[in-house]
Structure 1
Amino acid sequence: MVGKHIKVLEVNVDDLHTGGVYSLVKNVIEHSSKEIQIDIGAIEKFVNQKNVEHFETLGSKVYYLGYEGSKWKKQIVCYKNLKKLLEENKYDFVHIHADVANKLLVSALAAKRAGVKRVVVHSHAAGVDGNHRTFKVVVHRLCRMFLKNVATDFVACSDVAAVWMYPGIPKEKVMIIQNGIDLEKFRFKDNIRQNVREQLGITDEVLIGHVGRFAYQKNHEYILKIAKALKEKQMHSKILLVGEGPEKDRIKAVAEEMNLNDILVFYGTSNEVEKLFMAMDVFVLPSHFEGLPIVGVEAQASGLPVIFSDKITSQAKRLDDVTFLGIEDADISSWVDDVNHYGSMRRDRTEAYKRLREEKYSIEDTVQSFMSLYLGVKK
């Protein structure tokens, strides 16, 4: 296949809350081989038209395949729209990204029925989010049984994401592609740290950071409990919450009820999250589940100590100053102790990105994995 023009459609990619899949695919497109044409099939509408325009300047087309009506009819419409697109545009690969099997199955079935020879399913999580989670788990477990009948290639971002999605697929048939990042962009710079802290009104406080969509998965309720404990102990700290999401208004209301507004900073989304990492002193991620969190890798690339939930795969630990803690009420004191420990430390953060490069977490390594999948050789 080397030397041929390969066409790939990345399905279920959008900039809604600019999550990990969006960042991953964006990086791959920006660094991909000229032998490959990579387009996007979006199930949700892009929020920012400039992001669509950016992909177009890179030579990638963005197709909206979704439907804004009922969720049940949405599955049918998405299936029909994707099948029609694939029949009209001959793609060599359809690469479908999702956290649950039903999303993979609908798109994979459309791809197979459209005659696509290589149908890639890619697991990005290890649990379900949103409402009606018990029902969603049942649907997920039912649908994942059929993936082997419609997909040709199986990919996951970590071992736990592979187990979650492909329990019946032999381990050696699942390709693990680590969520690499642009390490140079996250290289710590003290002048940026000082500028951002000044903009945030942070002086000598310990700045605890969190980047994540306001949803069940990221467990913002637990961050509020940590904030309350920090305030009760009169620790000189603030917590920076970066992100948007369906639970944001509710979390803000609870924070106000708990009288935590003086310690919390609700920042919203950012296109320069790497600068926010540099301003932080500690990064926390008390998630209920993750595949392999890109934000955790980004935080470590910036030299930040990280405290993960023990529900997150141990593969997320790439540097020494990383701990995993429980997320029960009894564990809150441990989070506070570790925040205090890491926040009081002063370290040289400038070399951390080099360690991540050695661990094969650069975007170049990830792109090479994508290229080896699409081209059949290591580039």
Structure 2
Amino acid sequence: MPDKPLRVIHIMSEFGGGISSFILDKAEALANQDVQIDILTFDTPSARLEQAIAATGGQIYKVPNPVKESLMQSVKQTNAIFKQLPKNTLVHCNYGMDLALIFYLVAKKNRLKFAIHAHTAEPDNTNNARRYINRWMADYKLSCGLGATENIFGRQALENNDVVHIPNSINIHNFLGQNKAASLKSEAYGQENQHKFIISQIARFHEVKNHAFSLEVIEELAKTELDFLWLFFGQGKLEDEIKQAVAERKLEGYVKFMGRRNDISELYQTMDLMVLPSHFEGLSTVAIESQASGKKILLSDIQTCETDLDLGLVEFLPIDNGAQDVEAWVQVILANQQPADVSSELIQEKFEQKKFTSATSAALYVEFLKGNISSYRI
């Protein structure tokens, strides 16, 4: 790829998840630099994402969803967009099979290079044949973590060392050194909760995020003397089901549903402990944000080790052994009531070293776009 100008168009289905956060982070970090970022999406992005893309000189193109709306119209409109792009534009597809195949064919028709970015370790509908096709389609292989790489491209890709792992980075300055916890607790959760031990789960309401396991933990934790409040942040298809289960188990006094919030970076300072008992994760941005805020986080042990940034804030726990694991989570929560003592200087040092800050991750992305690197491991 030529040095200048650097052009990339991201394929993004929906706004509001980890993929749009990744694109937003890169766009904001690369504003007014020599990288133009466009987006092709099926959804309506936020004003913040629109502003970030515009600051790179890019545009946002909306096309019909080829699966849920019209395959023919989606391909027709995508082809018209790709046809007018400069030939040095990289098509950065944030999905593997099946969406990737559609956009791969249109990209190749227009002689554009094609990258597949592995974002998930969830093995649903993934097998060796599909991994082979993903490798075949990808002129460049990108990933957020080792688990996602193996899931989307297969172990062979890890052994060949031909994947560029781009960290799910954050603007660390939004999380460091904030001290508004006391006033924010009362404001955000009610005065009656300002002295409670705050446990937070930030995740969309989906089976993969394992809210059902969390309810088991809450129910057992309620039998202890811990004065706690468990916060569920996020939205999703299972939200009503989880709310109903909370009511049926008479856990309303221990649980608060917070919805989707735009002030999470501030609210981290009100939280005492984070939990994420997911069945699968590529590399959780929530886990990264928690560590940037100096907060301890409990993760399911299926999550990859590179999620831990060596700050002493992460503990991995099992989730597949029923009541035994529920009790283990309860005991670990009870043992972690004291706040962590990690300096902002050490947090920043580790984040920069491992390229999890917006600036360091964006610099790595630019080196990839320039063709200077073809492999990087977190």
Q: Is the shorter-chain TM-score for this pair beyond 0.5, marking a shared fold?
A: yes
Identity %: 23
Judged with a 3 Å threshold, the aligned counterparts in structure 2 of structure 1 residues 269 and 115 are, in CA distance, closer, same or farther, namely same
Q: Is 1:189 aligned with 2:188?
A: no
Gaps of 5+ in 2: 374-378
Q: Is 1:279 aligned with 2:270?
A: yes
Indicate if the aligned counterparts of 1:217 and 1:288 stay in contact, CA closer than 8 A.
yes
Q: Give the structure 1 partner of residue 8 of structure 2.
A: 8
SS of aligned partner of 1:308: strand
> In structure 2, which of residues 355, 361, 364 is the aligned counterpart of residue 366 of structure 1?
361
Equivalents in 1 of 2:70, 2:129: separation in Å? 19
Indicate if the aligned counterparts of 2:27 and 2:52 stay in contact, CA closer than 8 A.
no
Q: Is 1:376 aligned with 2:374?
A: no
SS of aligned partner of 2:253: coil
Structure 1 stretch displaced more, 293-302 or 46-55: 46-55
Count of matched residue positions in the alignment of Structure 1 and Structure 2: 362
Report matched runs for 1:204-223 at 5 Å: 204-223=195-214
Q: Aligned AA for 1:181?
A: I
Q: Aligned AA for 2:315?
A: T
Using the size of structure 1 for normalisation, the TM-score is 0.88
Judged with a 3 Å threshold, the aligned counterparts in structure 2 of structure 1 residues 165 and 226 are, in CA distance, closer, same or farther, namely same
Using the size of structure 2 for normalisation, the TM-score is 0.88
Judged with a 3 Å threshold, the aligned counterparts in structure 2 of structure 1 residues 346 and 39 are, in CA distance, closer, same or farther, namely closer
- 1:360 Cα shift? 2.4
Judged with a 3 Å threshold, the aligned counterparts in structure 2 of structure 1 residues 253 and 238 are, in CA distance, closer, same or farther, namely same
Indicate if the aligned counterparts of 1:218 and 1:288 stay in contact, CA closer than 8 A.
yes
SS of aligned partner of 1:145: helix
> In structure 2, which of residues 279, 282, 285 is the aligned counterpart of residue 291 of structure 1?
282
Gaps of 5+ in 1: none
SS of aligned partner of 1:271: coil
Equivalents in 2 of 1:253, 1:47: separation in Å? 31
SS of aligned partner of 2:337: helix
Q: Give the structure 2 partner of residue 198 of structure 1.
A: 186
- 1:54 Cα shift? 5.1
Equivalents in 1 of 2:70, 2:228: separation in Å? 45
SS of aligned partner of 1:121: strand
Equivalents in 2 of 1:58, 1:239: separation in Å? 40
Equivalents in 1 of 2:73, 2:129: separation in Å? 21
- 1:4 Cα shift? 2.2
Equivalents in 1 of 2:341, 2:14: separation in Å? 37
Indicate if the aligned counterparts of 1:40 and 1:62 stay in contact, CA closer than 8 A.
yes
Can you list the C-alpha shifts for 1:246-269, whole angstroms capped at 9, x where unaligned?
A: 111111111111111111111111
SS of aligned partner of 2:161: helix
Report matched runs for 1:76-155 at 5 Å: 76-90=72-86, 92-98=89-95, 100-116=96-112, 118-128=113-123, 133=124, 136-137=125-126, 141-155=128-142
Q: Aligned AA for 1:334?
A: A
Equivalents in 1 of 2:345, 2:195: separation in Å? 23
- 1:40 Cα shift? 0.5
Equivalents in 2 of 1:50, 1:28: separation in Å? 13
Equivalents in 2 of 1:161, 1:352: separation in Å? 28
Equivalents in 2 of 1:346, 1:291: separation in Å? 26
Judged with a 3 Å threshold, the aligned counterparts in structure 2 of structure 1 residues 52 and 187 are, in CA distance, closer, same or farther, namely same
Structure 1 stretch displaced more, 296-305 or 255-264: 255-264
Equivalents in 2 of 1:155, 1:277: separation in Å? 29
Q: Aligned AA for 1:194?
A: A
Q: Aligned AA for 2:181?
A: R
> In structure 2, which of residues 327, 351, 360 is the aligned counterpart of residue 333 of structure 1?
327
Q: Is 1:160 aligned with 2:147?
A: yes
Q: Is 1:322 aligned with 2:314?
A: yes
